[in-house]
Structure 1
């Protein structure tokens, strides 16, 4: 993020204390499990940057709360399906043979934002070992949330998303839209006609070597999540407000996923 205040942000520089106050005013529940998707740019200037934001989130959650973030590695995937940008077919075997195996202790997340990386590298952080859609967590239930994420069914009921659902956790979209709401994928696993896809990634083996693995999973599609999220907000089930300068949305994950299950059944065509 830029370290300079924007002209649009009329308040004083945001601080750990002011951001924690904003989070509590929005409705963050002390002691809860909270999955956060965040973009720092809309927040505006923060004294201390993403580090201060993580401290503010932990302050709002309190000593019994659990902070969860996505630490996905979408570039660790089959290059044959890459679109942004695509790569030549002659590159595919080279990439599959040489992509470093995913190591939850050291592999950085990609395109998840600076805050997610701060959480991932925080002392005591726990991270799931899925090679494409891992999550990191800090707090009382961190290990329970991230442990045992299956390779197939990667965002399904046995994933960290499913664990958060079972814990009646919340989702915070901090400066991002509903297209970033990974929890909505959980509803796709409940669709009886959900299409499947063949996925691949490089993993680290028990002896420290690496190998390329394949698995079958639901063919996930967030293309209609903005429309779905707009309809969900229209029910009044999401709390909308500012965290710093960022328009943010806080919601019960269960409420969002249950709504998405019904919405997909009615609006997605087989």
Structure 2
């Protein structure tokens, strides 16, 4: 019973902390660009039906990009981690590509895939897939070799080694990688949605800024925070289901 009460209490503490920081900035900066928190929250409730299409559009783009990155990154990470040949061949390539500021490739994806969702999703995939590949690879390489020897002594098949040794090792790494990917994906989405779109929180925020409607702009920022919060909570639930041996984060 105490565990169930802990979830809303922790969330409440975070909301109170955010509100206090916002109130502090409102009083001490004293600039129209930072609207009054209470009035903005009331406006957010009023504008929520208008914000919903933008929230769903952004959520669909992020989830699609994460799913594609998962389908590409996890198998590649397993292959690189399990194969010394693949590690020697591909790891240097990953080290060269990973630090590149990949948002600069948005014009390239627009030329290749048009101005629709495909270019925006492709950009997010291009940004976050390397994080997943490296997370899974590191999970594989950190397994003690003695565990493999024990499995082989028990005449375990390759499938059994994958299920009972590799999966428990890489699932926490995948969860950690997904947490990092969510933050990167939200930031990348905000950038991508500033171009050639009519729906999305990035578009909504920048459109409100362009017409000097700072209260509506902050409503969009609140919606973006809510979207990120829900995605992080979804990852926490996923971790409790897939990796119950890890310390629960909810």
Same fold, TM-score > 0.5, yes or no:
no
Q: Which has the larger radius of gyration?
A: 2
Compare relative contact order (CA 8 Å, sep 6+) and give the higher one, 1 or 2.
2
What is the TM-score normalised by the length of structure 2?
Answer: 0.23
Q: TM-score, normalised by structure 1?
A: 0.22
Structure whose residues are more often strand by fraction:
1
Which structure: greater helix fraction? 2
